[in-house]
């Protein structure tokens, strides 16, 4: 049977392999062993009952605490071709009746119910007549008074269980504390041997903790790094939720809020907007999150100190369910503890001491100077050796870092291919597919690296170039700043070494994604838009169609046939048939529009369309091009009624931008420099570079005027290109 389970995993869900424990758990369930499953958020608990549900002949009942969670899951299952329904008070009478019919006709595999609905007489009556094979109690910590979401009705599920003695029972939760575990095992009388607990290490989350000094600025700066991603900001009080929401909106972010003071329907509306990507940022109190299975939450900010580590862990757990890197930032101040202490003092006396202790643990965690995962996981009874390389203490340098391996490889390859004799400006031109004369002069449009870096702006490439220099993967050599690779670059080429760098924050922000990653950002964006359009049309959250992880793979692999979609993570038979062609068409259109040859998407056609007439060239281009027709600099100054120095400046920019000026002796002649002076000036430029004239002026004992240096610099730049 477990082989069949594996086939379903691959063919229906499109996942290549099981996550830790899934296989053992599923095998146990198929062998009809009652089981408790404790796996962290994103650990893949749902599949542990969904796959058996598909394989069992009878019905699987899933007890779930919230309607929003059920609807979410049913939406995702339906889009995977698995028949699932729910019964709840929100359904119209017609929909309710229709679901009952489907159940009676045994055309449904999974039935989702809240415990309240389950225990209603008419539900019990219905269930008596149905063949039930599996009872899955999701979010099972709700049965425990020790849990964070105690729901008394949840305990009644055990009464129901006695009515279906032949069915297998499984209880699932992400809450790891010992009391909760014990409560679950005891209530459902599950043998201790059938207890699965996975590691609680979420190894795709970067954990950052900072002392609040200017929290609003700290917050804004942090979320600016995620220009398009979803995130949640947790605050302790309703008031601060509202203040922060206002602050974010005033700063142009699409944010909404969630707290217990809002009307039910308002809360629901805000939550739906978040799930459907209509708003990006949710500012919330602790009340928010339980109903959220959104897989692509990319960042969590805790704007105040949580009251204990369970809460901290639970909140950061909402980030990165899809396994992609996500960032968690905790901001705290000593004064936060006063608010919490006040809350605690209002509680019953016998639990006050425990709560104080928990708060002390939380504070100790925030202040830890070693690997944050050691105290965090230690709290849940798991020993962690430290050195996680993904928290602010293991990587103080990394708090802001992002993986730039792929762009780094592109850049270094381009330096190599062009013979290690060009400076940064020219390399960027090649990468971005510039049509500067110099490119064609050297046939650099024929290189495989030509145009492979269009996804990033020139400024971003500049930033990357600086990082590569700083990390000594290449060096700039005098006199002209030609870039050369160092031996260290090879490890990067071979994929043995990752390159991490601070994120780029300069203007203009061109890339869309949170990392400059290995996929094509422009295509990823386009697929995302398509997905949003389809999702809105179908009334579903976008991730129910395809997840971000799937889209990033599509934007990396550029599949061209329905068949090749089978290789993509998260695309099973149903999604392939239902959505495959739409996304393939989108990819095809993108390739056509951008003249991307799919056999080697990094090669762009050699001859470009000519520049459209409406593009007005910049001033430097205007002067440079005129100069190249044979008009002298002096004539250009006279006919345009501007200073000679201004013309010279434009011509200098022309050269720096990678264009080539015709050969001329005009500059030397105008400067009146004799050969000996010219040699001295050259040496001075070799030493001080060409960006500022003052150091050269001083170097030459102030004997050569700035006007003359202007002219000589141009000559110097011209000559350096020829070399």
Q: What residues make contact with ligand ADP under the rule CB under 6 A?
A: 15, 18-19, 22, 39, 41-47, 293, 295, 321-322, 547
Q: Is the backbone of residue 147 left (phi > 0), alpha (psi -120 to 50) or beta?
A: beta
Strand partners, 283: 233, 257
Rounded CA-CA distance 643/184 in Å is: 85
Tell me which of ligand ADP, Mg ion, none is bound by residue 276, counting a contact when its beta carbon lies within the kind-specific cut-off of 5 to 8 angstroms.
none
Residue 468 CA neighbour count, 13 Å, CB half: 32
Helices (H), 640-705: 644-656, 666-671, 675-688, 694-699
Shortest Å, Cβ 110 to ligand ADP: 13
List of residues 6+ apart from 511 with CB closer than 8 A: 455, 456, 457, 460, 504, 521
Tell me which of Mg ion, ligand ADP, none is bound by residue 254, counting a contact when its beta carbon lies within the kind-specific cut-off of 5 to 8 angstroms.
none
Tell me which of Mg ion, ligand ADP, none is bound by residue 482, counting a contact when its beta carbon lies within the kind-specific cut-off of 5 to 8 angstroms.
none
Tell me which of ligand ADP, Mg ion, none is bound by residue 18, counting a contact when its beta carbon lies within the kind-specific cut-off of 5 to 8 angstroms.
ligand ADP
Shortest Å, Cβ 114 to Mg ion: 15
Nearer CB in complex with ligand ADP: 20/191? 20
Interface residues for Mg ion in 512-551 (CB under 5 A)? none
Nearer CB in complex with Mg ion: 139/657? 139
| CA 584 to mean position of chain CA atoms | 23
Nearer CB in complex with Mg ion: 45/267? 45
Rounded CA-CA distance 260/280 in Å is: 20
φ/ψ (deg, to 5) at 195: -120, 120
Q: In the chain, what is the greatest distance between 2 CA atoms, to the nearest angstrom? A: 107
Number of residues lying near Mg ion (CB under 5 A):
1
Shortest Å, Cβ 167 to Mg ion: 20
Three-state secondary-structure class, residue 700: coil
Shortest Å, Cβ 17 to ligand ADP: 6
Rounded CA-CA distance 675/394 in Å is: 58
Nearer CB in complex with ligand ADP: 296/445? 296
Shortest Å, Cβ 175 to Mg ion: 12
Shortest Å, Cβ 45 to Mg ion: 5
Tell me which of Mg ion, ligand ADP, none is bound by residue 42, counting a contact when its beta carbon lies within the kind-specific cut-off of 5 to 8 angstroms.
ligand ADP
Tell me which of ligand ADP, Mg ion, none is bound by residue 43, counting a contact when its beta carbon lies within the kind-specific cut-off of 5 to 8 angstroms.
ligand ADP
Task: Tell me the window of 27-35, 44-52, 350-358, 550-558 that interacts with Mg ion (CB under 5 A).
Answer: 44-52
Nearer CB in complex with ligand ADP: 39/704? 39
Nearer CB in complex with Mg ion: 41/465? 41
Nearer CB in complex with ligand ADP: 47/492? 47
Interface residues for Mg ion in 617-636 (CB under 5 A)? none
Q: Residues of 674-704 as b/e, b for ≥16 C-beta within 10 angstroms? A: eeebeeebbebbeebebeebeebbebbeeeb
Task: Tell me the window of 42-50, 181-189, 218-226, 309-317 that interacts with Mg ion (CB under 5 A).
Answer: 42-50
Of 56, 58, 48, which Cα lies nearest the Cα of 26?
48
The token pair that represents 27 in the structure block: 């095998």
Nearer CB in complex with Mg ion: 45/531? 45
Nearer CB in complex with ligand ADP: 25/430? 25
Shortest Å, Cβ 489 to ligand ADP: 34
Nearer CB in complex with ligand ADP: 321/438? 321
Rounded CA-CA distance 535/543 in Å is: 8
CB 102 within 8 A of CB 121: no
Shortest Å, Cβ 50 to ligand ADP: 8
Helices (H), 539-659: 542-545, 548-557, 573-593, 619-628, 633-639, 644-656
List of residues 6+ apart from 128 with CB closer than 8 A: 163
Rounded CA-CA distance 433/424 in Å is: 14
CB 272 within 8 A of CB 213: no
Nearer CB in complex with ligand ADP: 324/371? 324
Tell me which of ligand ADP, Mg ion, none is bound by residue 39, counting a contact when its beta carbon lies within the kind-specific cut-off of 5 to 8 angstroms.
ligand ADP
Shortest Å, Cβ 98 to ligand ADP: 27
Shortest Å, Cβ 556 to ligand ADP: 17
Orientation of helix 458-470 relative to helix 424-431, angle to 10°: 130
Three-state secondary-structure class, residue 392: coil
Rounded CA-CA distance 45/157 in Å is: 19
CB atoms near residue 713 (< 10 Å): 23
Task: Tell me the window of 37-45, 376-384, 409-417, 564-572 that interacts with Mg ion (CB under 5 A).
Answer: 37-45
Residue carrying the six token digits 């009942």: 61
Three-state secondary-structure class, residue 661: coil
Tell me which of ligand ADP, Mg ion, none is bound by residue 44, counting a contact when its beta carbon lies within the kind-specific cut-off of 5 to 8 angstroms.
ligand ADP
First to last CA, the chain: 71
Nearer CB in complex with ligand ADP: 8/647? 8
Shortest Å, Cβ 621 to ligand ADP: 50
Residue carrying the six token digits 């004064």: 335
CB 328 within 8 A of CB 205: yes
Tell me which of Mg ion, ligand ADP, none is bound by residue 22, counting a contact when its beta carbon lies within the kind-specific cut-off of 5 to 8 angstroms.
ligand ADP
Tell me which of Mg ion, ligand ADP, none is bound by residue 15, counting a contact when its beta carbon lies within the kind-specific cut-off of 5 to 8 angstroms.
ligand ADP
Rounded CA-CA distance 36/39 in Å is: 10
Tell me which of Mg ion, ligand ADP, none is bound by residue 559, counting a contact when its beta carbon lies within the kind-specific cut-off of 5 to 8 angstroms.
none
Nearer CB in complex with Mg ion: 62/535? 62
Task: Tell me the window of 39-47, 177-185, 242-250, 506-514 that interacts with Mg ion (CB under 5 A).
Answer: 39-47
Shortest Å, Cβ 115 to ligand ADP: 18
Nearer CB in complex with ligand ADP: 60/547? 547
Tell me which of ligand ADP, Mg ion, none is bound by residue 295, counting a contact when its beta carbon lies within the kind-specific cut-off of 5 to 8 angstroms.
ligand ADP
Tell me which of ligand ADP, Mg ion, none is bound by residue 312, counting a contact when its beta carbon lies within the kind-specific cut-off of 5 to 8 angstroms.
none
Rounded CA-CA distance 132/126 in Å is: 11
> For the purposes of burial, counting CB atoms within 10 Å of the CB of 163, is it exposed (0-12), middle (13-18) or buried (19 or more)?
exposed
Rounded CA-CA distance 6/27 in Å is: 11
Shortest Å, Cβ 47 to ligand ADP: 5
Nearer CB in complex with Mg ion: 253/313? 313
Shortest Å, Cβ 281 to Mg ion: 23
Shortest Å, Cβ 63 to ligand ADP: 14
List of residues 6+ apart from 125 with CB closer than 8 A: none
Q: Binding residues for Mg ion, per CB under 5 A? A: 45
């Amino acid at each position: 049977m477990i082989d069949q389970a594996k086939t379903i995993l691959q063919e229906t869900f499109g996942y290549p392999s099981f996550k830790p424990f899934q296989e053992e758990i599923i095998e146990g369930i198929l062998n009809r062993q009652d089981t408790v499953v404790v796996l962290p958020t994103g650990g893949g608990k749902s599949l542990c009952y969904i796959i058996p549900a598909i394989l069992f002949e009878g019905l699987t009942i899933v007890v779930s605490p919230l309607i929003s969670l059920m609807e979410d899951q049913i939406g995702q299952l339906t889009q995977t071709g698995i028949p699932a329904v729910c019964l709840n008070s929100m359904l119209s009478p017609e929909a309710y009746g229709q679901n009952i019919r489907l159940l009676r006709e045994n055309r449904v595999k999974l039935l989702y119910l809240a415990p309240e609905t389950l225990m209603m007489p008419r539900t019990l009556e219905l269930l008596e007549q149905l063949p039930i094979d599996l009872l899955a109690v999701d979010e099972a910590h709700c049965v425990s008074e020790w849990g964070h979401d105690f729901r008394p009705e949840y305990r009644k599920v055990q009464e129901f269980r006695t009515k279906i003695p032949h069915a297998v029972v499984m209880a699932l939760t992400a809450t790891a504390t010992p009391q909760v575990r014990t409560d679950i095992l005891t209530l459902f009388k599950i043998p201790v041997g059938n207890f699965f607990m996975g590691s609680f290490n979420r190894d795709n989350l970067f954990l950052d903790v900072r002392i609040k000094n200017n929290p609003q600025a700290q917050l804004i700066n942090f979320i600016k790094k995620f220009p398009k991603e979803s995130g949640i900001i947790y605050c302790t009080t309703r008031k601060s939720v509202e203040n922060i929401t206002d602050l974010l909106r005033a700063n142009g972010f699409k944010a909404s809020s969630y707290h217990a003071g809002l009307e039910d329907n308002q809360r629901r509306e805000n939550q739906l907007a978040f799930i459907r990507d209509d708003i990006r940022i949710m500012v919330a109190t602790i009340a928010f999150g339980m109903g959220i299975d959104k897989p692509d939450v990319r960042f969590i900010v805790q704007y105040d100190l949580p009251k204990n580590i369970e809460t901290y862990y639970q909140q950061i757990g909402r980030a990165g369910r899809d396994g992609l890197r996500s960032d968690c930032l905790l901001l705290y101040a000593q004064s936060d503890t006063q608010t919490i202490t006040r809350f605690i003092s209002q509680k019953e006396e016998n639990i006050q001491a425990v709560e104080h202790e928990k708060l002390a643990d939380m504070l100790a965690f925030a202040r830890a100077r070693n690997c944050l995962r050691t105290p965090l996981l230690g709290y849940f009874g798991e020993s962690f050796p430290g050195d996680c390389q993904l928290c602010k203490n293991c990587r103080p340098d990394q708090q802001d870092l992002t993986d730039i391996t792929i762009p780094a490889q592109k850049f270094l390859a381009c330096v190599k291919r062009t013979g290690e004799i060009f400076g940064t400006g020219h390399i960027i031109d090649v990468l971005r597919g510039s049509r500067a004369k110099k490119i064609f002069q050297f046939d650099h449009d024929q290189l495989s690296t030509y145009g492979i870096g269009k996804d990033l702006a020139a400024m971003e490439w500049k930033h990357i170039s600086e990082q590569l220099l700083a990390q000594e993967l290449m060096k700039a050599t005098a006199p002209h700043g030609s870039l050369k690779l160092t031996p260290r670059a090879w490890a990067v080429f071979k994929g043995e070494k990752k390159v991490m760098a601070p994120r780029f924050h300069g203007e203009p922000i061109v890339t869309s994604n949170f990392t400059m990653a290995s996929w094509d950002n422009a295509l990823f964006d386009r697929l995302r838009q398509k997905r949003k359009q389809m999702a809105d049309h179908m009334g579903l959250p976008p991730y129910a169609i395809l997840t971000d992880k799937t889209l990033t793979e599509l934007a990396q692999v550029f599949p061209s046939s329905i068949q090749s979609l089978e290789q993509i993570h998260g695309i099973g038979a149903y999604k392939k048939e239902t959505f495959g062609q739409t996304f393939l068409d989108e990819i095809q259109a993108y390739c056509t529009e951008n003249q991307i040859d799919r056999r080697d998407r990094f090669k762009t056609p050699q001859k470009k369309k000519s520049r459209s007439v409406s593009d007005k060239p910049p001033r430097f281009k205007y002067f440079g091009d005129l100069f190249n027709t044979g008009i002298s600099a002096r004539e250009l100054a006279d006919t345009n009624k501007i200073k000679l120095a201004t013309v010279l400046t434009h011509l200098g920019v022309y050269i720096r931008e990678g264009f080539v000026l015709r050969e001329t002796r005009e500059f030397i002649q105008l400067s009146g420099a004799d050969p000996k002076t010219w040699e001295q000036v050259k040496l001075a430029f070799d030493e001080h570079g060409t960006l500022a004239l003052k150091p050269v002026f001083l170097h030459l004992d102030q004997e050569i005027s700035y006007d003359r240096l202007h002219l000589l610099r141009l000559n110097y730049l011209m000559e350096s290109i020829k070399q």
